[in-house]
Chain A
Amino acid sequence: MVKRLTLILTLALLVAMMLVLSMPMSTVAQDAEPTPIVGAFGGGETKISYWNGLTGSDGVTMNEMLAQFADENPEFEVTSEIIPWNTLYAKLQAAFVANQPPDLILMHASEVPQFANFGVLMDLGPWYAGNGGWFDENDISEITYSGMQYQGVTYAIPLDNHGRGLWINTDMFDAAGMDTDPATAPDNYEDWVTLMQAVTLDADGNNAADPEFDSENVVQWGYVVGEWPRVNFLSALAQHGGEMVSEDGQVTVNSDAGIAALQQTVDLVYEHNVSPPPAGFDTWQGFASGSVAIIPTGTWFRNFAVDQTDINGMAWPQVQFGEQPATWFGIHAFMLPASSTPEKAEAVQALLQWISANQATWAGSGQVPALLSVQASLDAVNYPSNILLGQTFTEYGILDYTSTVTQEMYAALDPELDAALNNLKSVEDALNDAAERMQQVLDRAM
């Protein structure tokens, strides 16, 4: 009897909970903007299926653009499918195998070689102005254009440049008496360390340069090395004049430049005490909770920094540890399957023309529009981070290494970087082991 009663009570509780949850929700939902049907925009005859990995706030911006497109062009219906990047590639391979690819794919420039090599991408060269098309290759940076190509064929239309920059907590800079003007950013390792030490504080308020500093009891970190270490490493490698793979096909992450680059980063943790070890530290939460002064992140951080935190912050250019500036960036680019019919290709072309003409809207996602003319027209009050970081990409940006197995090489590199940064391996050992495995991957692909 008692047992039955407990059961009934628990059930009743659950039902009540669901009711409580659902009632205010429906009222809220009525107030909110009517949302379009599941990622489907418009109801026209011409249907376009479109896959991308724009999860989070940039996906919202993209969907807004699609909705506007469908509004202005009622003959179309665009079905947008958002799949997180890391799984998008797996799904795409599967879809190509099954011969059911979407009509339009948004990927990164770094995926062009792999998919082009399999012969599943359409040659978009004719869409470029140089071949009598509509997309002006002179209005994008040279490096962006090069990222669209593989073995002399142009396979993609770029949407943006998105890449590495810093976000700083301006209140912490002010408190430490440091200048927040990005133009004052240091241009060598020693000065960066000095700056990071000034904004690293222990529980007693001593900064990391202070002899009294208690490295066991840090409450505010100057920097976080655990935030996507690979692209930091690639940037620093280039700053020291190194490269991931040499011209003759040798993996050179363990070159002197590579060792110097990684050692400097490791030293930030164990030598200069300005960064926690990567493992077990949530970097975004660290910044949002006011425990991190400088986070190496990127253009995509804008909406999070502005909307999701209480922090006063701003974008800064990438750190410079080597002799020359360099920062990693990627390109979101549109591609079509080779199996596309002429009718589909034409419909997709209309959509891409519209998106390219409206690239300024894309700046709302935090990313930097690929078209230089659009970059130049952005207003400095609303888009300071886009403008600042966009310039660094054009001036000294580096792209991923072009090969069909870049992702697989990264899978061999990432754990080794993580091991070195967590002090499980020496920098030399980690990079030697990484180079050995990456070389195997590269040799297999040759």
Chain B
Amino acid sequence: MNSKSISGNGVKGRLTLTLKSRETLAAYAFLAPFMVFFSIFVVRAVVEAVRMSFYDWHILRPMRPYIGIDNYVELINDKVWWISLQNTVVFTALTVVGTTIVALAAAVAVTRPIKGQSFFRVLLYMPSLLSVGAVGLIWVWLLNTQFGIINYGLSFLGIRPVNWLGDPGLVIPSLSLTTIWWGFGFPMLIFIAGLQGIPEQLYEAARIDGGSNRDLFLYITLPLLRPTILFVTVTGVISHFQVYGQPFIMTTGGPGRSSYSLIFYLYQIAWTAFRMGYGAAVAVCIAVIMAVMTSVQFIVLSRRIEY
């Protein structure tokens, strides 16, 4: 800026400067309301959470001694933390992959020029409008080993009752299935929008070249939807990694601790034991893991797009 005002016409230089600074001022004015709230409720809260994680902070106890990294040391040695982490990773992987596939298939189907298009769009989105409480209540009953309607149906096929929520190897997939049922509607909408954005000429040209429907999907739809898939999977990981309501309502973390999720465990620490300091340490670690996972996803998936 300095060099500019020296080299150029003095008056004009000052004028650009004032214009620029006016624009800067205006920008800050436009940003100000948002930034005030952002600073108070996000920045301050995050800083505060990190600070709390270095204290033995119990909600009603007046004494809150500084204990350094003790909370983090405890966390590394906490078996339940590692179990919860493993469960959460498996759940997130199953749910994100399942949701993406179902949502994409549904979106392709409801963008075909068929009758009842909007009917299906409304119908398929309906579960997403339910609260997690209702979803949990319905599915707990469906998946009940003894009295569940799913096992009742299977019995006619001669299949023995399956212990959906009681088998440690099945409980996470069962919760995942419930979550896919509940949550595929929103990604479906995003895929619909993505599909509508693909120019029809591309398909016509490919058909003239003799491409089959499968070819069209594999060589036109999928590559062009990559940014959409990136968006769906990244937001999917962010939201499903924070799963809490499903285990809380459907299994209370059981059998044993087979369906403890990270946030479920965090809730226990913070709101059953009221150990806010340790809870803050757990929350900070969850945030770091999520940040790392999302970054990796971005790097891997966006490289593919360039290719």
Chains A and B directly touch (beta carbon < 8 Å): yes
Q: Known contacts A3-B117, A286-B147, A291-B146: does B122 contact A279 (CB below 8 Å)?
A: no
Q: How far is the CA of A216 from the CA of B253 in the complex (A)?
A: 27
Q: Which one of A90, A94, A276, A418 contacts B272 once the chains associate, using CB atoms below 8 Å?
A: A90
Q: Which one of B116, B144, B258 contacts A424 once the chains associate, using CB atoms below 8 Å?
A: B258
Q: Which one of B61, B147, B258, B272 contacts A118 once the chains associate, using CB atoms below 8 Å?
A: B61
Can you name the residue of chain A whose Cβ is closest to the Cβ of B254? A418
Write the nearest CB–CB distance from B130 to chain A, whole angstroms: 15
Q: B147 touching A279 by the CB < 8 A rule?
A: no
Q: How far is the CA of A322 from the CA of B252 in the complex (A)?
A: 30
Q: How far is the CA of A272 from the CA of B290 in the complex (A)?
A: 47
Task: List residues of chain B with CB within 8 A of the CB of A441.
Answer: 273
* One of A207-215, A360-368, A391-399, A407-415 at the interface: A407-415
Q: How far is the CA of A41 from the CA of B127 in the complex (A)?
A: 39
Write the nearest CB–CB distance from B71 to chain A, whole angstroms: 12
Can you name the residue of chain A whose Cβ is closest to the Cβ of B253? A415
- The answer, yes or no, to whether B165 is at the interface (CB within 8 Å) is yes
Task: List residues of chain A with CB within 8 A of the CB of B165.
Answer: 279-280
Q: A418 touching B273 by the CB < 8 A rule?
A: no
- The answer, yes or no, to whether A289 is at the interface (CB within 8 Å) is yes
- The answer, yes or no, to whether A103 is at the interface (CB within 8 Å) is no
Q: Known contacts A282-B144, A286-B146: does B116 contact A422 (CB below 8 Å)?
A: no
Q: Which one of A7, A96, A280 contacts B164 once the chains associate, using CB atoms below 8 Å?
A: A280
Q: Known contacts A120-B60, A279-B163: does B255 contact A419 (CB below 8 Å)?
A: yes
Q: Known contacts A280-B144, A281-B146, A424-B258: does B272 contact A93 (CB below 8 Å)?
A: no
- The answer, yes or no, to whether B14 is at the interface (CB within 8 Å) is no
Task: List residues of chain A with CB within 8 A of the CB of B253.
Answer: 415
- The answer, yes or no, to whether B167 is at the interface (CB within 8 Å) is yes
Write the nearest CB–CB distance from A49 to chain B, whole angstroms: 20
Task: List residues of chain A with CB within 8 A of the CB of B98.
Answer: none
Q: How far is the CA of A10 from the CA of B116 in the complex (A)?
A: 12
Write the nearest CB–CB distance from B220 to chain A, whole angstroms: 26
Task: List residues of chain A with CB within 8 A of the CB of B167.
Answer: 279
Q: B144 touching A407 by the CB < 8 A rule?
A: no
Write the nearest CB–CB distance from B250 to chain A, whole angstroms: 11
Task: List residues of chain A with CB within 8 A of the CB of B148.
Answer: 280
Q: How far is the CA of A411 from the CA of B163 in the complex (A)?
A: 24
Q: How far is the CA of A97 from the CA of B61 in the complex (A)?
A: 10
Task: List residues of chain B with CB within 8 A of the CB of A243.
Answer: none
- The answer, yes or no, to whether A23 is at the interface (CB within 8 Å) is no
Q: Which one of A6, A93, A120, A407 contacts B116 once the chains associate, using CB atoms below 8 Å?
A: A6
Q: How far is the CA of A120 from the CA of B268 in the complex (A)?
A: 22
- The answer, yes or no, to whether B41 is at the interface (CB within 8 Å) is no
- The answer, yes or no, to whether B143 is at the interface (CB within 8 Å) is yes
The A interface is mostly helix, strand or loop, or mixed, namely helix
Q: A96 touching B147 by the CB < 8 A rule?
A: no
Task: List residues of chain A with CB within 8 A of the CB of B164.
Answer: 280
Can you name the residue of chain A whose Cβ is closest to the Cβ of B267? A90
Interface residues of B in 254-307 (CB under 8 A from A): 254-258, 260, 268, 271-274
Q: How far is the CA of A281 from the CA of B164 in the complex (A)?
A: 11
Write the nearest CB–CB distance from B112 to chain A, whole angstroms: 14
Q: Known contacts A7-B118, A90-B271, A118-B60: does B144 contact A422 (CB below 8 Å)?
A: no
Q: How far is the CA of A289 from the CA of B115 in the complex (A)?
A: 44
Using an 8 Å CB-CB cutoff, how does the interface string of A160-184 with B read, 1 for contact, 0 for none?
A: 0000000000000000000000000
- The answer, yes or no, to whether A242 is at the interface (CB within 8 Å) is no
Write the nearest CB–CB distance from A37 to chain B, whole angstroms: 26
Q: How far is the CA of A408 from the CA of B270 in the complex (A)?
A: 11
Q: Which one of A2, A89, A281 contacts B145 once the chains associate, using CB atoms below 8 Å?
A: A281
- The answer, yes or no, to whether A278 is at the interface (CB within 8 Å) is yes
Q: A422 touching B255 by the CB < 8 A rule?
A: yes
- The answer, yes or no, to whether B119 is at the interface (CB within 8 Å) is yes
Q: A411 touching B268 by the CB < 8 A rule?
A: yes
Q: Known contacts A6-B118, A93-B60, A411-B273: does B147 contact A419 (CB below 8 Å)?
A: no
Q: B60 touching A96 by the CB < 8 A rule?
A: yes
Task: List residues of chain B with CB within 8 A of the CB of A286.
Answer: 146-147
Q: B166 touching A422 by the CB < 8 A rule?
A: yes
Write the nearest CB–CB distance from B146 to chain A, whole angstroms: 5
Q: How far is the CA of A282 from the CA of B251 in the complex (A)?
A: 12
Q: A278 touching B119 by the CB < 8 A rule?
A: no
Write the nearest CB–CB distance from A413 to chain B, whole angstroms: 12
- The answer, yes or no, to whether B160 is at the interface (CB within 8 Å) is yes
Q: How far is the CA of A418 from the CA of B259 in the complex (A)?
A: 12
Task: List residues of chain A with CB within 8 A of the CB of B163.
Answer: 277, 279-280
- The answer, yes or no, to whether A138 is at the interface (CB within 8 Å) is no
Q: Which one of A3, A289, A425 contacts B118 once the chains associate, using CB atoms below 8 Å?
A: A3
- The answer, yes or no, to whether B59 is at the interface (CB within 8 Å) is yes
Q: Which one of A6, A89, A419 contacts B256 once the chains associate, using CB atoms below 8 Å?
A: A419
Can you name the residue of chain A whose Cβ is closest to the Cβ of B271? A90
Closest 6 A-B residue pairs measured CB to CB? A279-B166, A280-B145, A419-B256, A280-B166, A422-B255, A118-B60
Apart from A93-B59, A118-B60: 6 A-B pairs, beta carbons within 8 A: A93-B274, A216-B160, A279-B255, A281-B166, A405-B273, A425-B256
Chain B positions near chain A (C-beta within 8 angstroms): 59-61, 80, 115-119, 122, 143-148, 160, 163-168, 253-258, 260, 268, 271-274
Can you list 28 A-B contacts with CB-CB less than 8 angstroms, sorted by A residue number? A3-B118, A6-B118, A6-B119, A10-B122, A89-B272, A93-B274, A97-B59, A118-B61, A120-B60, A277-B166, A278-B166, A279-B163, A279-B165, A279-B167, A280-B143, A280-B145, A280-B146, A281-B166, A285-B144, A286-B147, A289-B147, A408-B273, A411-B272, A411-B273, A415-B257, A422-B168, A422-B254, A424-B258
